[in-house]
Chains A and B, each alone.
Chain A
Amino acid sequence: MAGFSNYFRFILKRERAVGLTWFVCMVAFEAGLASVFSGMFSDAESMRAMAFTMNTPAMVALMGPVYGLESLTPAIIMAQECLVWFFIAAAVMNIFFVVRHTRADEELGRHEMLRALPVGRLTGAASTLTGAFALNAAITLASALGLIALNADGATAAGAFAYALSIGAVGFLFAALTLLFAQLFSTPRGVSGAAFAVMGVFYVLRMSGDMNGNALSAVSPMGLGLKVQPFWLNGFAPVVILLTEAAVVAAAALAVCANRDLGGGIIPARKGKARASRFLRGEFGLAWRLSRGTIFAWSAGIFALGATYGAAAGTIDQFAAGNEMFSKMLASAGAASVADSYTAMVFAIGALLCSVPVINIAGKIRAEEKRGRLEQILAKSVPRERMFLSYIALAFVTSLATLALMAIGFYIAAGGMKPGALLTAAFEYLPALWLMLGLTVLLAGAVPKLAGLIWAVFAYAFAVFYFGKLLRLPELAAKLSPFGYIPQLPSQEFALVPLLVPALLAVAVCAAGVAGFGRRDVG
């Protein structure tokens, strides 16, 4: 293929920073977590206790089925806890990698420059695919060797390779899928949007398949990857199937690529209106236009998530019937409280996810500033506070809409639950979302250089929620999270004070952020 080696070298050169960072992080976590997990359990009993909590419907829906109960090792528990997250991380890495080297390049015109060189039609796509393969292969090999070298409890050599290979195979399949979308859609946003949507669908299919124990989980590459059951079955067949699927998709992508124009897509970009509609007027119109995609997409996603978990709530009984350990737990704890703690847990996770669009929209003014668009707006007759408050108002509406849709989705799919109680349980998280909103406003408005810190707060809240009990963190660690004060309805009691405090705090930091924004330099 003309110019392949030049092109491939060009990709490697451009990946020195980003690709290397992904490589280091992926390998460090894939291998490094093994030592965390092997130090976590003192005896077989504590591992069984851990497996108990993971064998609940909420956890199976989140992370996939539990296996290897007959002879648990820390490595098995690690795989159950972490594998699905590594699938997602690998998918994200591959989607960004392919978008970076295909559509994003074409849009910036870099691709044309390359094509002017003696380079074949397929060279770009083929080199990108090879680059993605090399990246995944390198991560797989290094992680497997790292796992073996760390010699963690239960991490056999075969298991280490099964573990790393399942992640690499799922990742590479996403590279191939994204390459196909890059031929169909003509903008980077369209491509990554389609790829992430497919990722969501795969996750939901896996969830539903794992809850009901049917074939849907094998249809989803993520579910298929989990069937490897590393450190236990070490089944390599799913890996082979995943790689075959990737090869077929990649071949399809290359076939489409050979037959299209540079810059064009099979699905054409829409031609726009020459005049603004009545709604695109003033600062609120602009804020709405820039946020509505985020609002609609997240609302739909959160609704689907609520519905998926709701549907699973209906099958808790079935789940218990087919699961000896869980039915014992159910009998000892009382059926009502198991269903309640399932709901409480689902809503806690859902509320954390709802804070993502809230943060995104509240902080949009900073993103606009960094892209150099805000100065043009402020050169018009636009009060700074009013521009900021437009985004804040939309973030506020988003907090209400997403939480409500989560509860409604759950209610519709679950059937037979009280809608009012579900809505209350969901809206309990409003003060936490508002506090996240307020902190975003404070950072973006008053200390813009630190605006990115809000994602550290988010990551902290997530980590405390997810690992807090697992790592037996002190109570104070949980209280430092904006979500830490919220009583988890319906399994815990309702209380007003823990809701009022974050709500009032949110108002205060929000006001400080807006005031700070009115006084500072922009740009």
Chain B
Amino acid sequence: MATFEIRSLVKRFGKFTALDGVNMSADAGEVHAFLGPNGAGKTTTIRCMLAILKATSGTVTLFGRDAWKDAVELHRRVAFVPGDVNLWGNLTGGEVIDLFLSMRRAGKPDKARYDKYVSLFDFDPGKKCRTYSKGNRQKVALVAALVSDAELFILDEPTSGLDPLMEKIFQDSVLELKQSGRTVLLSSHIMSEVEKLADTVSIIRGGKVVENGTMAELTSKARGKTLEELFLSEYEGAG
């Protein structure tokens, strides 16, 4: 059974069609990269998966269950990192992490995991969120996600604003998740990150998935071109 499966997903905002029949899926233990130019529909797809947006038509299932109807139950098994982390200025980072963990309703979080990720990301949880830089706000959501023992990680440009050192730590953490059989959906604009982490890839453009397959398939398709060049031609619509 696929960990998540999206079939013919359509999402309209008024007259504007943001998603025009998206198909995508990933199995347990897979890191699935989700690529595409700005405004292609990556965030919209992810919001439909998380029942933040209601699909106009099509089906989205997580662990074989309907992502909209069973959202509250399903979210115990899901961790989410948005690309733009907006926090409460008068709460500390540590308070937000604890709050997020309590709202997952998946039991008491592991103290050792908490300490591990706080120190790995060199994060100061005692500061008010309004004083955090962009990268530090991102760390709040990342630490909260990684500490939670979820089965599906939905990461929407999770490393925007992280410095190269933190980027490296993030990549190591994702590889660890993969080894322990977790599924990761990684929307990203960073090609090196995708090359290093992804097993399978979907490329979306104008609300349609224009390419998908394993990294190996894509590499053979690239025929001498670097992956980056292949992606660029897909983005431009020439491929």
Contact = CB atoms under 8 A, between A and B. Distances in A.
Interface of A: 107, 187, 189, 269, 271-277, 280-283, 285-286, 289-290, 293, 371-373, 375-383, 519-523
Nearest to A519: B54
A519 B52 CA distance: 10
Given A276-B94, A283-B103, A377-B103, A372 B86 contact: yes
26 contacts: A187-B89, A271-B126, A272-B126, A272-B127, A275-B94, A276-B99, A280-B95, A281-B99, A282-B103, A283-B103, A285-B99, A285-B102, A286-B103, A289-B88, A376-B80, A376-B82, A376-B85, A376-B100, A378-B52, A379-B78, A379-B80, A380-B105, A381-B73, A381-B104, A519-B54, A522-B53
B88 A373 contact: yes
Contacts of B128: 269, 272
Contacts, number: 108
B103 A274 contact: no
A316 B141 CA distance: 59
Interface of A is mostly: loop
Given A281-B99, A376-B141, A382-B103, A274 B50 contact: no
A274 B72 contact: no
A277 B94 CA distance: 10
B138 interface: no
B52 A276 contact: no
A195 B103 CA distance: 36
Contacts of B103: 282-283, 286, 377, 380-382
B178 interface: no
A107 B132 CA distance: 11
B97 to A, nearest CB: 8
Nearest to A522: B52
A273 B75 contact: no
B86 A107 contact: no
A107 B91 contact: no
B87 interface: yes
B130 A381 contact: no
Contacts of A271: 126-127
Given A381-B103, A383-B72, A375 B52 contact: yes
Contacts of B91: 272, 280, 289
Contacts of A381: 72-73, 75-76, 103-106
- Of the listed residues A269, A290, A373, A376, the one surrounded by the most CB atoms of chain B closer than 10 A to its CB is A376
Interface string B64-86: 00000001110110101010111
